[in-house]
Structure 1
Amino acid sequence: MFTEKNLQQIKNHGLSEAKVKHQLEIFKEGIPFANVMEPASADKGIEVFSEKEQQHFATLFETEKDKLDILKFVPASGAATRMFKFLHQFLESYNPKDNIESFLQKEENRNLKIFFESIDNFAFSFLVKDKLEEKYSELENFEQGKRYFLFVQEMLEETGLNFSNTPKGLVPFHTYGENYVTAFGEQLYEAAFYAATNGVANLHFTVSEGHEKKFKKRFDEVKHLVEKKTGVRFNISYSFQKNETDTVAATPENELFLDENGDLLLRPSGHGALLENLNDVDADIIFIKNIDNVVSENYVETIAFQKKVLAGKLISLQKKIFSFIEKLHLENPSEEIIKNVAEFISVDLSIKNTPIFKEDLLKILERPIRICGVVENTGAPGGGPFLVKDKNGNLSYQIVEMSQIDTNNPQQKALVDKATHFNPVDLVCGMRNYKGEKYDLLKFSDPDAGFISHKSYQGKPIKALELPGLWNGAMANWITVFVEVPLITFNPVKTVNDLLNEVHQPK
């Protein structure tokens, strides 16, 4: 199947021939869709806390946190390219000699109109304008269309600020006085409010290898300012998506895809590959959130309170679980203990078909724990909480991505349409067992929860294999609890115009 050149390529990539063959088999056999039974909803798979309960959990976390190792884990490898998609299209389609007003009146250019009308409200605006004024002494005399064109060019292209090839985490998001702050900087500031113990906040960013120096440089630039502002010291670590998590591409006929040089096309396998990175870090509690889900500092205390609520719920749940595990490890636990554990699993963990034997109960309890914040649906696409039946008939609540659901099946589509909540990647994770030992997270992933996508390479159609996503399939066999959190906790920046939303604008 493989040439000597292919085999050497596989070896150099940290993969094995058997692993690549297995990936090819997955293309041929396909990946089964998730069997969704019903969407989770308030008080049916999703816990909704009263203000009093929220305060209780936040206080519990505050009381316990300085005894714990806490880490904030931030996937941050994405480039900002997609954030500026409509601006790239502007550079391709607009002739600076044309009338800009007429151009912006077209319905397809609505986002551009919003962008240019609000141009001074972007944190990067003054950086771009300063650069343009250095280059063009007559800038103010240019036609407005030409000025807009040069502004976008200066923003995106390599000869300017090169935002297209900048990590999303390093694009200026907010301004305070004369200083701009990136998403990376806001993640640091926010961490000081809930992820700091004994005056130190530990953060881990997964970045592209070529971007690590840029993140380190930015940290050096803002370290003194953010530490002075928060009174917290920051300990930052970085990792890269591992080459050995890449997957081979296939032709539409499920044969190996070879490029113009006869080489295999090996591709990053989605954020599920970051399970390896998460498994390499160690802490009692890990907060996980995406790099672009930040707010301006006016709203940080509100966000931090919700994080403390989730972490307090985790600590409360862990105490109960660890206590039950210790009792079950007694030589002959009483029938009453068995009954109490089974009831706890059924009621508190929402796990159906609860077993009645000690060994089976221990299997359920001796797993990593995650508390997942979920928000009410706003029409935004994303993974949602559903009750799922696995191939063995077991029922459990899971985060399920839309790509895992057969929406061509009318019954499954109807269940998706009834969903009330989705998961904005707002996780608090318990990573150690009752003895304080670190779990091997690779043992708790569901290999069947990946998916096959259709892409292209240099104009040729290919099939790509994505590993089980970090917060869905990669954590499918964790203890999972869903908690409703307010919509203000979800503020991703998918396009540049999202930065005009209230939570990204300084008061």
Structure 2
Amino acid sequence: MTFTEQDQDQILVQGIPLDRIDQQINHFVNGFPFLNVIKAATIGDGIVRIDEGQLPTYTQRFDSAAHERDLVKFVPASGAATRMFKALFAALEGKMDKSVDEVFDRLTDFAFYDDLKKAMASKGQDIDKADRQTILRFLLTEEGLDYGSLPKGLLKFHRYIDGPRTPVEEHLVEGAAYANSDGLVKIHFTVSPEHRSRFEHLINEQKADYEAWLGVTFDISFSEQKKATDTISVNIDNSPFRNADNSLLFRPAGHGALIENLNDIDADIVFIKNIDNVVPDEIKEPTVTYKKVLAAVLLDSQQQIARLQGLLKGSDVSDGYLAEADELFRHTLFTLPPDKFDSLSKEEKVDYFRRKLDRPVRVCGMVKNVGEPGGGPFWAKNQDGSVSLQVVESAQIDLDNPAQKAIFDEATHFNPVDLVCGLKDPAGKKYDLPAYRDPQTGFITAKSKDGKELKAQELPGLWNGAMADWNTIFVEVPLITFNPVKTVNDLLRKEHQPE
């Protein structure tokens, strides 16, 4: 692709290497290859189910190790709440449906009701007498609360006796329960630049009160998606899309770009959880328990990996050690060697296991699939011929292929963005996380700007292609640990209402 001098100056400021832009253009032209899924991961065949009687053993294992580890809770929180209020925005245009009726029937049940009532009163409006359009304007637009353009993390989700809480505050409370190392609780939020000051203001206002109540010290940090992870947009004919001023259009490349933010975190163990998946205090306990369980599974796997790395270090590796490595990968790390593995020399087998052991580790919670969208657990073929566990989105599978579609339909679970990650090797050296992503995964989407159609590109998802080359373990977690708020009506579900 040939770019003008002006283009090259813009690309330089954006911080994207030219060869990466050429690669992005190539993906627009040729698309992304589908992932070759071999079978769905199920209980006993890729997904570990932990007996309820064993839960205390796992939580104690984590609790005893937590004070020796640097822990961080990582919360992607940059998304705006626009989609959460999609039906209400349509209602502003006069298109009412049952979900809108439910919102108005139960308006007083929302944690933001008192704020809405005050905002209306300040402008001489009585919420009990106002029509629907007026109430919606005060809820969604700058005329009132402006909830339609705020990020979810700043909305009032849950009601308590001492006042409502936002998801940010719920993550503080939850983080203190498991991302706690000798009273220090580190939480990192990825936010959008335009809302960062609001997040910082909320933390500055509330932090001391939560520290006093919970008896901890919070270390709260923020980052924004890096401009260098944006992707170029193209016209329908795959030529670069240009703005009215003839500049190139770059767009944020989805949550896969956050692998760069995660890579900047210096910690032993990182808990990853979405901003909108929070619950009131009375039902937090299962979430806390299973976060500790996942972390304990991570610690156990790291211990086994470190032991085998030591055994495979020498120049004369015994057949017994190779058999141990094979056993660990097949039955703990759920990775099968390439088809021609048996024909490799001993040195080649040792080299294979050394490479596979020397990778970051993630333990992913999997809940039973009840129809929610999300990445599913599958055994998939990798570029080196091995087969391992992957979190796979439907767009990554060729659903027009009957055999692949049949495998996709067999998935019994999905990942609700519930991960515990080990970012360092046994010597404490941090892995360079972008080196373990699969650049051949991604998505092409249709968008528009200024009335013109364009094609946009998303990087491989954070827990999909961006972590494709990690050692991966799937563990079943109960459905109660997954309570996302995708629409405003979700806040009316019993899990988000006070008892």
Fold-level similarity (TM above 0.5): yes
Report SS of the residue matched to 1:238: strand
User: What is the distance in 1 between the residues matched to 2:3 and 2:317?
Assistant: 56
Where in structure 2 are the equivalents of 1:53-452 lying within 5 Å? 53-93=54-94, 109-136=97-124, 140=128, 142=129, 146-353=130-337, 355=341, 357-452=349-444
Deviation digits for residues 4-39 of structure 1, max 9, x if unmatched?
222221111112333222211221121101111111
Q: What is the percentage of aligned positions where both structures have the same residue?
A: 44
- Asked whether the 8 Å contact 2:116–2:139 carries over to 1, the reply is yes
Q: Does 1:467 align with 2:459?
A: yes
User: What is the distance in 2 between the residues matched to 1:273 and 1:344?
Assistant: 31
- Asked whether the 8 Å contact 1:129–1:151 carries over to 2, the reply is no
Q: 1:228 offset after TM fit, Å?
A: 2.0
Q: Which runs of 4+ in 1 moved over 3 A?
A: 137-140
Matched residue type, 2:117: K
Q: 1:336 offset after TM fit, Å?
A: 1.4
Deviation digits for residues 174-232 of structure 1, max 9, x if unmatched?
11124110000000100000001111100111101121111111012211221122111
Matched residue type, 2:265: V
Report SS of the residue matched to 1:443: helix
User: What is the distance in 1 between the residues matched to 2:295 and 2:47?
Assistant: 16
Q: 1:3 offset after TM fit, Å?
A: 2.2
- Asked whether the 8 Å contact 1:193–1:301 carries over to 2, the reply is no
Question: Where does residue 5 of structure 2 map in the other structure?
Answer: 4
User: What is the distance in 2 between the residues matched to 1:138 and 1:174?
Assistant: 24
The range that moved more, 351-360 or 269-278, is: 351-360
How many residue pairs get aligned? The number is: 490
User: What is the distance in 2 between the residues matched to 1:131 and 1:218?
Assistant: 19
- Asked whether the 8 Å contact 2:243–2:249 carries over to 1, the reply is yes
- Asked whether the 8 Å contact 1:31–1:448 carries over to 2, the reply is yes
Deviation digits for residues 402-451 of structure 1, max 9, x if unmatched?
11112222222222222100000000001110111111111111001112
The range that moved more, 7-16 or 442-451, is: 7-16
- Asked whether the 8 Å contact 1:290–1:425 carries over to 2, the reply is yes
The range that moved more, 14-23 or 156-165, is: 14-23
User: What is the distance in 2 between the residues matched to 1:183 and 1:138?
Assistant: 28
Report SS of the residue matched to 1:221: helix
User: What is the distance in 2 between the residues matched to 1:20 and 1:331?
Assistant: 43
- Asked whether the 8 Å contact 1:156–1:162 carries over to 2, the reply is yes
Deviation digits for residues 97-138 of structure 1, max 9, x if unmatched?
xxxxxxx6xxxx010011111111100011001121222266
The range that moved more, 162-171 or 456-465, is: 456-465
User: What is the distance in 1 between the residues matched to 2:326 and 2:193?
Assistant: 47
Report SS of the residue matched to 2:275: coil
Matched residue type, 2:242: L
User: What is the distance in 2 between the residues matched to 1:320 and 1:234?
Assistant: 32
Matched residue type, 1:407: L
Q: 1:296 offset after TM fit, Å?
A: 0.6
User: What is the distance in 1 between the residues matched to 2:438 and 2:146?
Assistant: 39
Q: Which runs of 5+ in 1 are unaligned?
A: 95-103
Q: 1:374 offset after TM fit, Å?
A: 0.4
Report SS of the residue matched to 1:180: coil
Q: Does 1:25 align with 2:26?
A: yes
Report SS of the residue matched to 2:355: helix
User: What is the distance in 2 between the residues matched to 1:458 and 1:422?
Assistant: 37
User: What is the distance in 2 between the residues matched to 1:302 and 1:45?
Assistant: 22
Matched residue type, 1:421: H
Question: Where does residue 35 of structure 2 map in the other structure?
Answer: 34
User: What is the distance in 1 between the residues matched to 2:89 and 2:151?
Assistant: 17
RMSD of equivalent CA atoms: 1.4
User: What is the distance in 2 between the residues matched to 1:297 and 1:233?
Assistant: 19
- Asked whether the 8 Å contact 2:14–2:228 carries over to 1, the reply is yes
Matched residue type, 1:502: K
- Asked whether the 8 Å contact 1:279–1:440 carries over to 2, the reply is yes
Report SS of the residue matched to 1:310: helix
